[in-house]
Structure 1
Amino acid sequence: MIDTLLVHGVVITMDGERRILEDGAVAVQDGRILEVGDTENLVGKYEAKRVIDCKHHCVLPGLIDVHGHGGHSLFKTIAMDNISFWMPIMTRTYKHFVTDDFWYYEGKLNALERLKAGITTGACVLGSMPRSDDPVFALNHARAYAETGIREIVCTGPCNPPWPHPFSRWVDGKQVTQEVTYEKVLAGAEAVIEALNHANGDRIRAFITPFVIVTSINPSAPTPTDQLYGLTDHDRYQAKRIREIARKYNTRIHSDAFGGMIHLAAQDKENALLGPDVHLQHCRGISFDEARILAETGTNVSSAPGFGQVLARTPITELMEMGATVAISTDGTAPAASFDMFQAMRKTQMVHQAALKDYYYLPPGKLLEMVTIDAARCVGWDDELGSLEAGKKADIITVNMRQPHLAPEYMYVHRLVHQAVAGDVSHVLVDGELLMDERRVLTVDEEQVLEEANGMAQETIERAGLRKYMQPTKYMWGSVRAYVDEKRFDPDAL
């Protein structure tokens, strides 16, 4: 007798042939997919302890969000009106005003939102820039994910210079600030990787994550060509140390990159943070030469849709045409994103169709690949995740198609990509364990998670003085363009 049999669903396998079985079934045993086939055949072949009737549901591999942030789920929409200062506001908050417990309660909400959105694997950079001066933050976040049941890729490592760098811990309600060396944050990141990589039955993995691959230029936007003066000593030292840590623990490298960084990184022939074991988020504003470097080195790329794509686009269509692996990420959830991968697919399509002035770019099948099998390849997990095939881990979701906005039931991939939303996900299994059954979460008390998260958010907002960044401006109502007339942020506060 096998563990689970999902029957009578439209099974979208995402396998090598991209099979779609209109009355399909998936057999699960010992956390892995035993067989995928027609319902009639599998029902006659297997008796199961649990049978899930997927009539009027699409059955597909769990969605994979290859880049998001730990911490952001408690700060949604804060400082949106002060977007020019959003990064320093949030970086200051993460470095000085969050408690150790913050990472656990935020992790519970973070994981719960992803679970209910059908995301079975999610990457989390801890903070707006990664924070690794102490491993407790990552350990607490991973504990929250483990209790919720979905997979987490914990991404932590050094932020940008100068060094030493001030960080605060809260002890018995009091702020204790210390100057932390670069070597200490590397040691903290190593401790996280040693403790968490392949932990919780391999539902947790840990990647070494410098904030950006080149620290000496603009970390959040493309740098003009005439400001690319070459790699600094710290750039070269960081690349060397990150490479050493990745080799020592046999883990992967995750980081951000923007235009100019890839050109500079490639100058370090020995330790460049490029290659098949590297995943770079954003890559906005890169040149054609840089896109070629990414494709030729096999560097994996992900991109999130947003206004930044209007200012400097990630050339995802060109990268894919050159053979690079590109995934869609949410970069969620602050200041204004969500963990809804269905919306992320649609937004990505619209951004690039508009930029290229061509309606036919990014067909729905490609978009679905970019959040399943391509995303799994992007993070080096495609041997076990990203498709419904015998031998792979049983990370499976169902989407309820018996709803007005998803009816009638045909052209299923089109319907999922163009009309579905996160709330349409009905069942979620990870390693064959049923985590959500018809929208009811089985692993955690959802109401308690929401209550605790709300309380921690309010405490942190008061501690960090964030309330002023939550007040609407006088232009919120009745105006077609917003202004912020008062000075809310003082750079000297950093």
Structure 2
Amino acid sequence: MIDLLLVHGTVITMDKDRRILQDGAVAINNGRIVAVDTTERLMGKFEAQKVLDCSHQCILPGLIDVHGHGGHSMFKTIAMENIDFWMPIMTNTYKHFVTDDFWYYEGKLSALERLKAGITTGVSVLGSMPRSDDPIFAINHAKAYAEVGVREVVCTGPCNPPWPHLFSRWVDGKRVTKEVTYEEVIKGAEAVIEALNHANHDKTRAFITPFVIVTSVDPSSPTSPARLYGLTEHDRYQAKKIREIARKYNTRIHSDAFGGMIHLAIQDKENALLGPDVHLQHCRGISFDEAKILAETGTNVSASPGFTQVHARTPIIELLELGATVAISTDGTSPSTSFDLFQAMRKTQFIHQAALRDEYYLPPGKLLEMVTIDAAKCIGWDDDLGSLEVGKKADVITVNLNQPHLTPEFMHVHRLVYQAVGNDVEHTIVDGKLIMEGRKVLNVDEGTILNDANEEARSTIKRAGLEKYMQPTKYFWGHARAYVDEKRYNEEDYDFTMQN
């Protein structure tokens, strides 16, 4: 007697042969896949405690979102009219105006959204710049994901200089601000890894995550070659510390990178934050020689679609042709993106086809690989995740095709990539456990999560004074272009430094 049997679906395995089985079935026992075959064969072979009839559904591996942010789910669309200042506004909020409990309530909301969009594994960088002055934030976030039942990779580490930094905690409703050194945030990040890496029956992992791989250049955009002056002492010190932590705890490195950083990083070959154990998000505006370095060092890359790709594209096509592993991420959920990897696939395809003026780039099969098996490789979890194969963890989703926008039922991968959305996910299984059935979440009370999130978000917005960034401008309605026409953001009000 096995635990669970999914039958009568179209199984998209994502195995090495990329098999697609019509009237297929997946057998699950003790959290792992024990067979993938036709319904006729598996129904004749197994008896199951529960049988799920997946007629008119695709059965595929759970989607893997290799980069998103813890915290952002509470602030969706806030400061969109002031997008130039969005990063300092949010960073200041995370540094000074969120409570310890905020991370738990936001984690619940974040995990719930990912779950309902078919994401069974999600990477969460704590805050906009990662915050690690105390491990409680990551621990609360991971606790929330564990209760919802979604796998999480918690990412935290040092933000950028100058040091020391001011951080605030809220004790009995009062703000307590403390000056924190670089060494203290490193210790905080280590405490997170000690507490969370491989925790929750290995549904939780923790990676060491400096904000960027080189701190002395623009941290959010490519840097001109004319301003690449070589690595600073702090750049070298941080790379050495991050490498030491990764080795000490046998964990992986996750960070952001932009044009110019890879050219600089490779100058310290011994400690460069590059290689098979490193996953870099964005990589916008990198040069072709930098793309070659990433491919040659086996560094994993992910990118999310968005307007900034118009200014400085991640060379996904070139990286793939050079043999690099590249995944699509959401970078969700704020300021204007969701945790919907189906939409992210389509946006990614459109951006790169438009940039290269060639609509044949990134076929649907490649796009689906980039949110399943390639995504698993990016985070070093492809031994257990990313495909439906015997022996792998049973992270499985089904997508309901019995809807007008997904009918007729043929060319199933095309249908998923071009027409499906996150809300079309019908069932979600993580570690062999059914945690959403017929779009009803089973582990937690969805209404309670939403109510708690609304209450915590409103109190945080009030505490941080974010109401002014929620107001539409006079150009909101009836105008072709938006203007703010008022000074909402005053730099002196914010404890935030983007660069040295």
User: Could you give the per-residue CA deviations for residues 11-44 of structure 1, whole angstroms, max 9, x where no partner exists?
Assistant: 0000000000011000001000001001100000
One-letter amino acid of the counterpart of residue 270, structure 1: E
What SS does structure 1 have at the residue aligned with 2:27?
strand
User: Could you give the per-residue CA deviations for residues 43-93 of structure 1, whole angstroms, max 9, x where no partner exists?
Assistant: 000000000000000000000000000000000000001011000000000
One-letter amino acid of the counterpart of residue 287, structure 1: S
In the alignment, which residue of structure 1 is the partner of 2:291?
A: 291
In the alignment, which residue of structure 2 is the partner of 1:20?
A: 20
Could you tell me which runs of 5 or more consecutive residues in structure 1 were left unpaired when the two chains were aligned: none
Q: For residues 329-478 of structure 1, what are the structure 2 equivalents within 5 Å?
A: 329-478=329-478
Shift in Å at residue 493 of structure 1? Answer: 1.2
Using the alignment, how far apart are the partners of 2:458 and 2:430 within structure 1? Answer: 32
Using the alignment, how far apart are the partners of 1:359 and 1:437 within structure 2? Answer: 37
One-letter amino acid of the counterpart of residue 361, structure 1: Y
Shift in Å at residue 145 of structure 1? Answer: 0.2
- The runs of at least 4 aligned residues of structure 1 exceeding 2 Å deviation read none
In the alignment, which residue of structure 1 is the partner of 2:134?
A: 134
Using the alignment, how far apart are the partners of 1:347 and 1:22 within structure 2? Answer: 29
One-letter amino acid of the counterpart of residue 308, structure 1: T
Q: For residues 216-365 of structure 1, what are the structure 2 equivalents within 5 Å?
A: 216-365=216-365
What SS does structure 1 have at the residue aligned with 2:226?
helix
Using the alignment, how far apart are the partners of 2:65 and 2:349 within structure 1? Answer: 17
User: Could you give the per-residue CA deviations for residues 268-308 of structure 1, whole angstroms, max 9, x where no partner exists?
Assistant: 01100000000000000000000000000000000000000
One-letter amino acid of the counterpart of residue 310, structure 1: V
- The number of residues matched between the two structures is 494
One-letter amino acid of the counterpart of residue 349, structure 1: Q
One-letter amino acid of the counterpart of residue 88, structure 2: P
Q: For residues 92-131 of structure 1, what are the structure 2 equivalents within 5 Å?
A: 92-131=92-131
Using the alignment, how far apart are the partners of 1:390 and 1:163 within structure 2? Answer: 50
What SS does structure 1 have at the residue aligned with 2:137?
helix
Using the alignment, how far apart are the partners of 2:458 and 2:24 within structure 1? Answer: 47
In the alignment, which residue of structure 2 is the partner of 1:51?
A: 51
Using the alignment, how far apart are the partners of 1:419 and 1:347 within structure 2? Answer: 12
In the alignment, which residue of structure 2 is the partner of 1:84?
A: 84
Shift in Å at residue 473 of structure 1? Answer: 0.4
User: Could you give the per-residue CA deviations for residues 450-483 of structure 1, whole angstroms, max 9, x where no partner exists?
Assistant: 0000000000000000000000000010000001
Shift in Å at residue 249 of structure 1? Answer: 0.3
Percent of aligned pairs with the same amino acid: 78
One-letter amino acid of the counterpart of residue 93, structure 1: T
Using the alignment, how far apart are the partners of 1:415 and 1:36 within structure 2? Answer: 22
What SS does structure 1 have at the residue aligned with 2:26?
strand
1:203 aligns with 2:203: yes
Using the alignment, how far apart are the partners of 1:424 and 1:87 within structure 2? Answer: 32
What SS does structure 1 have at the residue aligned with 2:22?
strand
In the alignment, which residue of structure 2 is the partner of 1:30?
A: 30
